[in-house]
Chain A
């Protein structure tokens, strides 16, 4: 391969609109790139026969041959011919393999899909409807699978369930403990520096206990669950979908619901309340560190903290965690099963799983606030 590749293209007008074109030099990908537009325009402008002399070429490769075919295609479109002179017969055979007319057809700009507003709105609405239908049928199937699992506990695949519990719970404990501790520390510190001005730092434990047990504990644990496990569920099931593994399950007579989704949702529902407990506990530890550093006795801290939290608050928080975990795991599995084709689609469904999970958590938290208020909890 010569580096200093040169390529020359020249044309000469002949009688009756005919054109004689000459290539000299090296017509490789590089050379063809440089003369392509010029050659194509020159041939397109002509109206008659074109005679192409390539005898002066020292080298030609597939892209160069492509240019010759492209010129032939332009001529074919006009109903004229292109005579190529000086090409070795082996390469002429290669060129003759191509159907120039058909290639010219393909080169025409495609009819763009220019749908009007009404059509687009209709399509969008239809998509939303379809998605809603998908969600409803998934929720239905999920309920059936879960109720079935509760009624027939022996149908649960305990090995899968245990593995999922380990992935969701045990392996997630570290980050839950860390975030819990830091949240407790930060919240206690921020409230303490405000309350200390009124000499009211004694109320920090009251606030911390309620805030953590009722709100922050379930909420933050569920958000971490969405980031750690909701995404993992979607990616795992999505990859299986892309690789036809879901179809393989179905044709073996194994319902993906029972086989894949039930263990994941059950594992999330078992482990999330436990993780919430750890979160609460370590946030109290974080708060204690702050209060101890303010010379506040540990006994009064614990006393005030636990006195102010009733059993109802506690149970209410855990129920919230349970519901959040159902939503997060459900939306993760749903997005996984809805994955379309290709590696990119797995990424999309993972994102959708996390975003969907967090939005659902926020909405559900709002509903809980209203319900608990109405019930006077």
Chain B
């Protein structure tokens, strides 16, 4: 029965295609001419040192910022050149969790998760509450549904933000550092959740993270950005890269070695 667009398969067209994308803030170029594909249903991880432009690339792919050059295709449709109407339609296909959580401070957790359901579905009240509670229970927050974001710990806010990103069951979930600030147990639980959603529901994940164990556990493929090269320095299966990469920067990252003092 499963819907046709929810099956794994490498032979299909990639769900996201990024072509020659250059991202800049004013004159300050963050990354230049990056190319990568995200395949349907995979867990795709973006790596790199702090400040190398991971969040920036994410913001350009989801259309918050326009790339100065290059194109982003979502399911074959040119997202960068889409009209406002098309953009709104495409945007519904993905959910985003921002690095800082970005929960609405004046609403309870339940209301935060319910908001997209209220705006974009015709579910009855009872159903919206139920679905929102389900999403919260997925991230282990069912008891905190009626609390305000400011009353939560940092890790709880992160988890609530993930629940909100999942509210509309998007095809693609973008998570910016989901496990930063979580304890190892919760973090492992989150990894398990991501894998389960990806394998069972066919959701595609694009994740920014630094957690090496988590990368090894969940990533199908990674790309690694570098601040000095201003582009992608490695791409592929993290387990292979760790062992066989000939790039010292990549090896240093996977083996957790500090920069040698000059």
Contact = CB atoms under 8 A, between A and B. Distances in A.
B11 interface: no
A60 interface: yes
Interface string B89-112: 000000000000000011000000
A343 B137 CA distance: 26
B237 interface: no
What band does the interface of chain A fall in when counting residues whose beta carbon is under 8 Å from B?
Answer: 35 or more
Contacts of B148: 341-342
A127 interface: no
A33 B134 contact: no
Contacts of A93: 196, 200
Nearest to B151: A341
A274 interface: no
Interface stretch (A97-105, A114-122, A146-154): A97-105
B189 to A, nearest CB: 11
B200 A91 contact: yes
B10 to A, nearest CB: 18
A69 B138 CA distance: 13
Tell me whether chain A's interface is mostly helix, strand or loop, or mixed.
helix
A61 B145 CA distance: 23
A33 B123 contact: yes
Contacts, number: 116
Contacts of B124: 33, 36-37
Contact of A70 (B3, B127, B196, B200): B127
A33 B121 contact: yes
A160 B189 CA distance: 48
Nearest to B129: A107
A305 B200 CA distance: 87
B169 A61 contact: yes
Nearest to B123: A33
B133 interface: yes
15 contacts: A29-B169, A36-B126, A59-B3, A60-B1, A63-B169, A66-B130, A66-B131, A69-B130, A70-B127, A86-B1, A97-B196, A103-B142, A107-B126, A342-B105, A344-B106
